[in-house]
Amino acid sequence: MIGLKGTLNVIDNSGALLVECVNVLKQKVNNGWGSVGDEIVCVVRRARPISGQASASAPKVRQGDVRRAVIVRTRKAVRRPDGRFIRFDDNAAVLLNNKREMLGTRIGGVVSADLRMKGWGKIVSLAPKVV
């Protein structure tokens, strides 16, 4: 249940560390709660410090950027079709650009298997562990 002001950890290598949700992008409603697999508009609150040299995994985002992201883990339990409820230890997201493509190139950590059902197969395939 991510809504306005909700903070999420960023688990890809785009350079951001913490983002704050500003808007939940759902088909019919502008507000409401975001769950796993929902796209959100967020503000980068904390980012990795930009180094002088241009490295391969140079941080692409800076603090204060407004970007889009997709929620991959929530602390609130999500119901699976077999009736089980799964919850994670924290709220996490992966940054995207306006065309629903990932900004980072790698993902570190567990992601929820509900992503596949919502159409984020690319992220699922990149993730080291899917539960």
Partner 1 sequence: MRVEKCYFCSKSVYPGHGSAFVRNDAKVFRFCSSKCNKNFKMKRNPRKVRWTKAFRKAAGKEMTVDSTIEFEKRRNVPVRYNRELVETTVKAMKRIAEIKQKREHAFWKNRMAVAREKLKAHRKRKLEKTSVKLVQPITPQAEKVKEKIKVAVKTRSALVAGEGRSMGMEID
State the nearest-atom distance from the C-beta of 78 to partner 1, in Å: 10
* Stretch 101-130 residues interacting with partner 1 (CB under 8 A): 109-110, 129
* Stretch 9-68 residues interacting with partner 1 (CB under 8 A): none
Instruction: Please enumerate in sequence order all residues whose Cβ is within 8 A of that of 70, keeping only pairs 6 or more positions apart, or say none.
Output: 37, 38, 39, 40, 93, 94, 96, 115, 120, 123
Select from 119, 122, 128, 129 the least CA-distant residue to 36: 119
CA 113 to chain CA mean position, Å: 14
From residue 73 to residue 102, the character string flagging contacts with partner 1 as x (rule: CB under 8 A) and all else as - is x---x----xxxxxxxxx------------
Site of interaction with partner 1 (CB under 8 A)? 73, 77, 82-90, 109-110, 129, 131
